[in-house]
Amino acid sequence: MSSLEKKLLELTNLEIGIVKPGRKTLVLVNQANFQVDYGQMVGIVGESGSGKTMVCRAIIGTLQRRGVSIIGGQVLFEGEDLSQINEARWKVLRGKVIGYVPQSALAGPNPVLTVAKQLAEALEQIEGTESIKSRSKEMLDLVKIRRIDTVMKQYPYQLSGGMRQRVMIACALASKPKLLIADEPTTGLDVTVQSQIMELLKEIRRDLGTAIILISHDLALVDEVCDKIVVMHAGATVEVGTTEDLSRPRHPYTIALNSSRIDIAKPGGELITIKGNPPSVGQWMQGCRFAERCDYKDTDCSVGEQPPLFGDKDKHQTACLHADKIVRA
C-alpha cells in the first residue's frame, strides 16, 4: 500500500484563531502539521494551552461553537478539505465518519437521558427503529459493560466515572467511524480505570480498524498505546515521529516533557519540571517559541518565525534549528 493510500487525515500548516471585526485576529494555533493513517493510533501531547484540543475541534468541526475559526492551512480527510465544508456536510461526517469522546466523563453524558436514549440518539440516523435496541446492546457489549439490561435503564449519575466514559465511547462508535478522537478520555479516573479505558481503545483499534487520535498529558500512557506521537508547544507542532523515534527526541521541548514525567521520578527525590513558563496563548515571541526555556538555544533561535518541521513527513520530524546538537549530546 502506498503512503497516499494509507493516509486518512493530513493537517498542513493549520491555523486557528478568533476573528472579530475591527480587532486584530488572535491566533491560537498555527503550523499544526501531522497525518494519521488508516487504523493508526496517534497521540498528541503538550502543556495546557499548546493547542491540542483546538486542533481536534477543527477536525470534528466544532470550533464555531466557541467563536473560533480555521483561518489558514488545510485539514484533509480522505482528500476532502474540512476547512472548506459547510454545516450540511458536517452533519454527514460529525459523529458518523468522525467520532468524538469528550474530555470529561462527568460532563460528557446528557444527565437527563438514560443510557438507552443516549445510544438511541447516536443510532437513530443510521439504523431502523427495530434494530436500535439490539445495536445499543451490541455497542455496550463492545465496550465491556456488564449487566447491559440494567445499565440501559440508568442515568449517568447512577454510573461510575469509568462506566460513563465507556458509554460515551459506545456512543462515539455507534456509526463505526473511520476516525475516533479521544480528548483526554481518562481525566478524573483512577489509575486502574485509566488502564481499562486504554486497553479498550487498543481493542477497538485492533478489532474494528478504527484510527484513533488520543490527546493526553500522560506521556507514559501515550508511549504505551500509540504508534505515532505529535508534540505541540505554543500553538505549533514541534516534533512528530513514531513512539520509538521519540524515545530519542530531537526537540528540546520533547526532552523537557520526558524529563518531567512522574513515572520516572525517583522516590523521595525532587520532581523535575520544565523551567520557565509557556508563552501566553497567541502572544508568542519571535523565532522559536521555546527558546527562552531551552538549554540548546543559539542566537538564530530568537529571530524570524517559529521554525517549521524539518525532515520527511513520513519519518521523524523536528522544528529545532539545532537538532544536531541534541543528537551529539
186: confidence class by pLDDT, cuts 50, 70, 90: confident
Q: Which amino acid is at 228?
A: K
State the pLDDT at residue 251: 96
Q: Which residues pair with 36 in a beta bridge?
A: 9
* Mean pLDDT, the chain, integer: 88
| Structure letter (DSSP) for residue 327 | H
If you search the block for the grid coordinates 516533557, which residue do you land on? 257
Name the residue among 127, 134, 216 with its Cα closest to residue 176. Answer: 127
pTM of the model: 0.91
Give the list of residues 6+ apart from residue 274 with CB closer than 8 angstroms, or none: 47, 253, 256, 257, 259, 260, 293
64-121 per-position pLDDT tens digit: 888 899 999 999 999 999 999 999 999 999 988 999 988 766 667 888 999 999 888 8
State the pLDDT at residue 26: 92
Name the residue among 30, 37, 26, 45 with its Cα closest to residue 76. Answer: 37
State the pLDDT at residue 310: 93
129: confidence class by pLDDT, cuts 50, 70, 90: low
DSSP state letters, 113-179? S-HHHHHHHHHTTTS-HHHHHHHHHHHHHHTT-SSHHHHHT--GGGS-HHHHHHHHHHHHHTT--SE
The pairing of strands 98-101 and 179-183 is parallel
| Phi, psi (deg, nearest 5) at residue 273 | -125, 165
Q: Could you count the other beta carbons within 10 Å of the beta carbon of residue 111?
A: 9
If you search the block for the grid coordinates 507514559, which residue do you land on? 220
Q: Could you count the other beta carbons within 10 Å of the beta carbon of residue 283?
A: 9
The pairing of strands 41-45 and 211-215 is parallel
The pairing of strands 69-77 and 228-233 is unpaired
Q: Residue 161 pLDDT > 70, yes or no?
A: yes
Give the list of residues 6+ apart from residue 85 with CB closer than 8 angstroms, or none: 61, 93
Q: For 120-127, which contacts have Cβ atoms below 8 Å and span 24 or more sequence positions?
A: 121/171, 122/95, 122/171, 122/172, 122/174, 122/175, 123/174, 123/175, 125/96, 126/96, 126/174, 126/175
State the pLDDT at residue 105: 60
256-312 per-position pLDDT tens digit: 998 887 777 777 777 788 888 888 888 898 999 999 999 899 999 999 999 999 988
Helices then strands, each counted (H, E), the chain: 11, 11
Report the largest interatomic distance among the alpha carbons of the chain, rounded to a whole angstrom: 68
* 191-208 vs 161-173: helix crossing angle, rounded to 10: 20
